[in-house]
């Protein structure tokens, strides 16, 4: 004898029971994912309570608001925060949802998007307010705000916080320190902890500025000039010779006060830089590269320089300037 099994479809009662069960599960999931105010019909694009929303923005904002609040998974709670805060999906960048804060006691709802910063309202804030159950409070607060859009918010949105600020002390580096460097009055021998102590030359000031009369040529020591004086205007080389000591024969330079120029590397041409001190080597060739008709007899010897001239200084002056200065 053989046993027989009935193979066929399920009965209609069983199918109906399973459909009802599945429907209940789906409804429960939607209820768990939704917020406390999602059953309100206002949540589906009705913005009649907001009287200050611009007319041009109202249709788009209402449509986007209805899409956000009626779709599953577009709004979610913020982990670790109170109920009056949520994350709303972003259409432009789904990986970075907008944070909507509804924790304010005056009914304000805030969003981090540019539309909210401009109009104090956006589709994310509307959906978040509906999700958190503070839609009417938000509308009452917004109706008391100014209707003028904030154009500065559009410009400053996502702007780098360092824009417009000096990242370094450029002015101080360009002009030099306003406080003279302190002079060393006590030298510690190498037997102690301090080694390689530099002592400034007596009678010098690193911040001193030689000021000749306009369009005159004066003889000076490089040591007595400002410490940033480094380049010869004629040959574009360093003013200081190698191994040249302070107040030595190689320390002599020529200073004048005239129009200055600089080379613009971007435009590849010389540009005017105003009137100021111009420095040259003690050399006719260097000076005549800038002023072709310069004559050695135009050179002026200040009293502060004449008192320091030695025989080596005088010999170098006559040799380089190719002129017999009878008073030295």
Backbone angles phi, psi at 67, to 5 degrees: -65, -40
Which residue from 116, 110, 214 is spatially nearest to 157, judged by alpha carbons? 116
Distance of CA 103 to the CA centre of its chain: 33
Mean pLDDT of 72-84: 83
The angle subtended at Cα 179 by Cα 176 and Cα 180, nearest 5°, is: 90
Answer whether residue 5 shows pLDDT above 80: no
Q: What string of DSSP letters covers 191-227?
A: TSS------PPTT--TT----PPTT-EEEEEGGGS-T
Rounded Cα–Cα distance for residues 120 and 99 (Å)? 14
More confident of the two residues 130 and 37:
130
* C-alpha to C-alpha distance for 315 and 325, rounded to whole angstroms: 10
Q: How far apart are CA 57 and CA 65, in angstroms?
A: 12
- Give the 3-state secondary structure of residue 299: strand
Give the model confidence (pLDDT) of 224-238 as tens digits: 888 888 889 889 899
Query: What is the pLDDT, as a whole number, of residue 35?
Result: 43
Question: Mean pLDDT over residues 1-18, rounded?
Answer: 50
Burial class of residue 238 (count of CB atoms within 10 Å of its CB; 0-12, 13-18, 19+): exposed
Q: What are phi and psi of 213, to 5 degrees?
A: -65, 155
- 133: closest CA among 33, 40, 29, 27? 40
Collapse the DSSP code of 257 into the 3-class scheme (helix H, G, I; strand E, B; otherwise coil) and give the result.
strand
Distance of alpha carbon 259 from alpha carbon 168, whole angstroms: 30
- Asked whether 227 and 206 are in contact (CB, 8 A), the reply is yes
What tokens does 265 get?
């590397």
Q: Closest Cα to residue 113, out of 143, 84, 138, 90?
A: 90
Considering Cα of 20, then 26, then 29, then 33, what sign does the dihedral take? negative
**Mean pLDDT of the region 309-328:** 86
Contacts of 74 (CB under 8 A, 6+ apart): 67, 68, 88, 89, 127
Residue bearing tokens 């010999």: 315
Rounded Cα–Cα distance for residues 62 and 325 (Å): 94
Task: State pLDDT tens for residues 238-270.
Answer: 988 877 788 888 889 999 988 888 778 888 888
Give the per-residue pLDDT at 92. Answer: 79
pLDDT digits (tens, 9 = 90+) for 160-197: 666 665 655 555 555 555 455 555 556 555 554 444 44
Percent of the chain residues past pLDDT 70, beyond the cut: 68
């Amino acid at each position: 004898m053989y046993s027989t099994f009935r193979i066929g479809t399920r009965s209609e009662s069983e199918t109906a029971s399973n459909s009802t069960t599945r429907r209940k599960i789906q409804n429960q999931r939607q209820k768990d994912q939704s917020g406390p105010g999602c059953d309100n019909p206002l949540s589906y694009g009705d913005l009649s309570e907001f009287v200050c929303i611009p007319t041009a923005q109202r249709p788009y904002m209402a449509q986007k608001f209805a899409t956000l609040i009626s779709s599953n998974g577009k709004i979610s709670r913020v982990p670790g925060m109170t109920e009056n805060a949520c994350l709303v999906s972003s259409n432009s960048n789904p990986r970075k949802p907008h944070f909507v804060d509804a924790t304010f006691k005056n009914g304000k709802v805030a969003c981090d998007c540019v539309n909210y910063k401009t109009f104090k309202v956006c589709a994310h804030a509307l959906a978040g307010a509906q999700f958190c159950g503070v839609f009417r409070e938000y509308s009452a607060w917004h109706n008391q705000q100014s209707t003028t859009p904030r154009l500065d918010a559009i410009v400053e949105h996502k702007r780098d916080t360092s824009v417009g600020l000096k990242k370094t002390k450029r002015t101080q580096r360009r002009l030099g320190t306003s406080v003279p460097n302190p002079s060393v009055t006590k030298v510690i021998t190498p037997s102690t902890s301090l080694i390689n102590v530099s002592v400034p030359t007596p009678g010098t000031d690193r911040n001193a500025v030689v000021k000749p009369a306009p369009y005159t040529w004066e003889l000076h020591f490089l040591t007595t000039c400002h410490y940033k004086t480094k380049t010869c205007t004629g040959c574009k080389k360093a003013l200081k010779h190698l191994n040249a000591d302070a107040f030595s024969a190689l320390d002599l330079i020529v200073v004048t006060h005239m129009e200055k120029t600089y080379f613009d590397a971007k435009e590849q041409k010389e540009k005017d830089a105003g009137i100021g001190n111009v420095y040259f080597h003690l050399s006719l060739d260097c000076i005549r590269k800038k002023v072709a008709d310069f004559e050695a007899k135009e050179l002026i010897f200040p009293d502060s320089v004449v008192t320091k001239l030695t025989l080596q200084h005088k010999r170098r002056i006559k040799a380089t300037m190719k002129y017999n200065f009878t008073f030295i």
